[in-house]
Amino acid sequence: MSDVFWKSATAGARRARKLATWLALAFFSLFPFLDVAAAEPSPVVLDGTQPSIALAQRSMYWVDTSGALTVQEVQARQHELPFAVRSAEHRLRLPDGAALWVRFEAQAQDDHARWELELARSGTDRITVYHQLASGEWKAQHAGDRLAVSQWAFPDRYPVFSLDPRTDAVVTYWVRIEHARVPFSGTLQIHNHNTLRELRIHQQFLLGAYFGMTLLLTATAVANALVFRDTSFAAYAVYITVLGLAMASTLGVAGQFLWPDSARWNGLAEFVLMPLTAVCGLLFVRQVVQPRRIGRWLDRSALVLPAVLVGLVLWDTAYPSHGSLQAVTAAAAATLVLVYTMLWAAWRTGDRWVRWIALGMLPVLLAGSLPVMRNFGLISSGFLSQYGMVIAAALEAPLLIYGLLQRSSLQHEAQTRARALALTEPLTGLTNRHNFMLRLHDSLVRAQRYGHQSALLLIGLDNHGWFAEQHGREVADRALVITGSLLRSVARDVDTASRVDDSTLALLMEGPVREAQALAAATSIVAGGLRPSVQLPVGTTLKFKLVVALLPDPSPELQQDAQAHLDWLRQALDALRKDPRKAILKLNF
């Protein structure tokens, strides 16, 4: 019995050891990056089967904290230095003065093919690639923001270096990277030359579309600011211009095309333009939503925080350090939070155009948090950290411009109405009495000068008082508005309709006018008033008393006196009101 028990226990132990071995192998095959003491990667074979090859898990790295070792010294001591395999998610912060060394081996299979190494990110301070030629001499290629792009080995958006095309031996490449203050993370990739050129063409096409749209929107905003004298469009033009320059700097486009010969500004541009984008965005939002929508506290914060951020940028520019950059990043993060708070406060007011502005700014606020997290070392550089702001800005642009146009339309409409009050009567929208009298005088002068006749119709709403007494002032005013609309439908383009007192309106028909035309207009007005309207109480219509005369009247006491002619028709209208059977009275024909 004991032998059977012993044999079964031994067999169970063997099975457990076997199972543990398989689990361990599976675990380390799934998580190779845990084996920091793994063997050195094999050389990269450049045979054309893969047009692009990432060096993650195919390269080794080590940090020279002194930054003083030369490539010859690193090569001589490579076996004693603690090089480790560099993974795809590799991210580290280099101490001041330190240098990151990356080593990989590659061998070309075709000496006619051209292969290039690319660091797929911009903003690296300095990167140098070394390798020994067949003659034994060292070849060094330089790039990075501390150099003018025109001095790079290959002027491009990103650092690019040529690889040795020889096929007779494996070539060891040493990449030295200096990158202060911001954690370094970037993908090193080997590309076939034609593949890299095609990739650049596609990228330049998309980036050209974005920057072209930015220029178009800037021009549109400037034009609207000048035409409508709207400072919100001017603030938007400044904001989108600075944002476009910041994106051009971040993506390497500006260094390649705008300032290829400026080494100092090439290194400073991203650290200056990105915070200034936050400043301009904050001031733009404040200008658009206006203090009354966000409250005094937020408004004051929107004035103080930009000043603080600009001061920190000046400090970081004059005395750059890790602490100054962290202060700028923290202030930029506070700016994003403040913009979000302002937009939320403005959203709650219910204005539709404000909501379009808020929706437009939201993608940029979300994408703007990526550089902040990268500077704090929370995320690595990748597609979203590089292109997230570009995508967000492309989504933002149509929403913001639509919201601004809606806002401008509402303001322009209000201004137009305010200016129109000087010419029109508020209730009916017809020409006011003062301007009507000026036009009547001018019409009398023209008629006398050219020997033709015009016509003047004086219309009294006979049941206006009854509407006010039986249905209230609102219905009586509505009856006047309907009367004004009726006069506009009868009037020609050259005619003028006006409200001359509480319940009396006038229509000036410019000459030459015949008697039949004047009577037809008078009859049409009276008939139009008798038609039922859904705007009036059921069973009621507009009852008019109308006096019509041809102008100028030959009476010597009238002459070119506009007021005298109007008084003459008013006296006739008062007399006509006493005759319940008659609606139209002809005076001088």
User: Are 480 and 556 found together in one domain?
Assistant: yes
Contact 543, 467 (CB under 8 A): no
What pairing do the DSSP bridges indicate for beta strands 496-499 and 504-509? antiparallel
pLDDT tens sequence across 1-33: 334 333 444 444 445 444 444 444 343 344 343
Q: Which DSSP category does 45 fall into? A: E
Helices then strands, each counted (H, E), the chain = 16, 16
Strands, DSSP E only, in 443-575? Answer: 454-461, 496-499, 504-509, 544-551
460-466 long-range Cβ contacts below 8 angstroms, 24+ apart: 460/503, 460/504, 460/544, 460/545, 460/546, 460/573, 460/576, 460/577, 461/503, 461/504, 461/505, 461/542, 461/543, 461/544, 462/543, 462/544, 462/545, 462/577, 463/540, 463/542, 463/543, 464/502, 464/503, 465/503
Closest CA to 164 of 131, 127, 142: 131
Question: What is the C-alpha to C-alpha distance for residues 358 and 342, in angstroms, rounded to an integer?
Answer: 9
pLDDT band at 414 (very low <50, low <70, confident <90, very high): low
Quick one: pLDDT at residue 485? 93
Quick one: pLDDT at residue 13? 44
Give me the CATH number covering residue 443.
3.30.70.270
User: Are 178 and 260 found together in one domain?
Assistant: no
pLDDT tens sequence across 286-339: 999 888 888 889 999 999 999 999 999 999 999 999 899 999 999 999 999 999
Domain boundary among 137, 170, 196: 196
Mean pLDDT of 120-141: 94
Q: Which DSSP category does 543 fall into? A: -
Quick one: pLDDT at residue 191? 96
Residue 12 is assigned to a structural domain of this protein: no
Q: How far is CA 356 from the centre of its chain?
A: 10
Strands, DSSP E only, in 412-532? Answer: 454-461, 496-499, 504-509
User: Are 372 and 504 found together in one domain?
Assistant: no
User: Are 290 and 381 found together in one domain?
Assistant: yes
Q: Three-class SS of residue 189?
A: strand
Residue 38 is assigned to a structural domain of this protein: no
pLDDT band at 352 (very low <50, low <70, confident <90, very high): confident
Residue 492 is assigned to a structural domain of this protein: yes
For the ranges 68-77, 87-96, 261-270, which has the lowest average pLDDT?
87-96
User: Are 459 and 510 found together in one domain?
Assistant: yes
Q: How open is the CA angle 96-389-356, to the nearest 5 degrees?
A: 140
Which tokens sit at 215? 């220029």
Closest CA to 328 of 287, 293, 278, 282: 278
pLDDT above 50 for 391: yes
Mean pLDDT of 141-147: 95
Mean pLDDT of 473-493: 92
Question: What is the C-alpha to C-alpha distance for residues 108 and 171, in angstroms, rounded to an integer?
Answer: 9
The residue type of 237 is A
Residue 577 is assigned to a structural domain of this protein: yes
Closest CA to 213 of 397, 364, 396: 397
Q: Three-class SS of residue 383?
A: helix
Q: What percent of the chain has pLDDT over 90?
A: 66
pLDDT tens sequence across 462-476: 999 999 999 999 999
Which residues are within 8 A (CB) of 241 and not within 5 positions of it... i.e. 6 or more apart? 214, 218
Domain boundary among 385, 420, 455: 420
User: Are 408 and 439 found together in one domain?
Assistant: no
Quick one: pLDDT at residue 34? 38
- The dihedral over CA atoms of 84, 87, 89, 92, expressed in degrees to the nearest 10, equals 20
Closest CA to 145 of 174, 182, 107: 182
Question: What is the C-alpha to C-alpha distance for residues 282 and 236, in angstroms, rounded to an integer?
Answer: 11
User: Are 412 and 273 found together in one domain?
Assistant: yes
Structural domain range at position 394: 230-420
User: Are 264 and 394 found together in one domain?
Assistant: yes
User: Are 412 and 465 found together in one domain?
Assistant: no
Residue 371 preceded by cis peptide, ω within 30:
no
Quick one: pLDDT at residue 109? 92
Residue 97 is assigned to a structural domain of this protein: yes
Quick one: pLDDT at residue 38? 47
Residue 216 is assigned to a structural domain of this protein: no
pLDDT above 80 for 423: no
Q: What average pLDDT does the structure give for the chain?
A: 88
pLDDT tens sequence across 46-81: 998 999 999 999 999 999 999 999 999 999 999 999
Domain boundary among 386, 420, 454: 420
Contact 42, 176 (CB under 8 A): no
Closest CA to 316 of 180, 184, 145: 180
pLDDT tens sequence across 152-175: 999 999 999 999 999 999 999 999
User: Are 402 and 493 found together in one domain?
Assistant: no
User: Are 439 and 575 found together in one domain?
Assistant: yes
Helices (H), 348-426: 352-375, 383-420
Residue 31 is assigned to a structural domain of this protein: no
Question: Cα dist. 328→218, 307, 321, 331 in Å?
Answer: 27, 12, 11, 5
Quick one: pLDDT at residue 15? 52
In the block, tokens 């090859």 appear at 53
DSSP collapsed to 3 states, 116-145 = EEEECCCCCCEEEEEEECCCCCEEEEEECC
Which residues are within 8 A (CB) of 120 and not within 5 positions of it... i.e. 6 or more apart? 158, 186, 187, 188, 189
For the ranges 11-15, 182-186, 256-260, 518-522, which has the lowest average pLDDT?
11-15
pLDDT tens sequence across 530-589: 999 889 999 899 999 999 999 888 887 777 888 988 999 999 999 999 888 899 999 988
Which residues are within 8 A (CB) of 529 and not within 5 positions of it... i.e. 6 or more apart? 483, 486, 541, 542, 543, 544
pTM above 0.75, yes or no: no
Q: What percent of the chain has pLDDT over 70?
A: 92
Residue 571 is assigned to a structural domain of this protein: yes
Domain count along the chain: 3
pLDDT above 50 for 35: no
Q: Which DSSP category does 114 fall into? A: -
Give me the CATH number covering residue 91.
2.60.40.2380
In the block, tokens 């809606």 appear at 406
Quick one: pLDDT at residue 550? 92
pLDDT above 70 for 457: yes
Question: What is the C-alpha to C-alpha distance for residues 105 and 363, in angstroms, rounded to an integer?
Answer: 42
Q: Three-class SS of residue 78?
A: coil
The residue type of 46 is L
Mean pLDDT of 441-469: 91
User: Are 415 and 448 found together in one domain?
Assistant: no
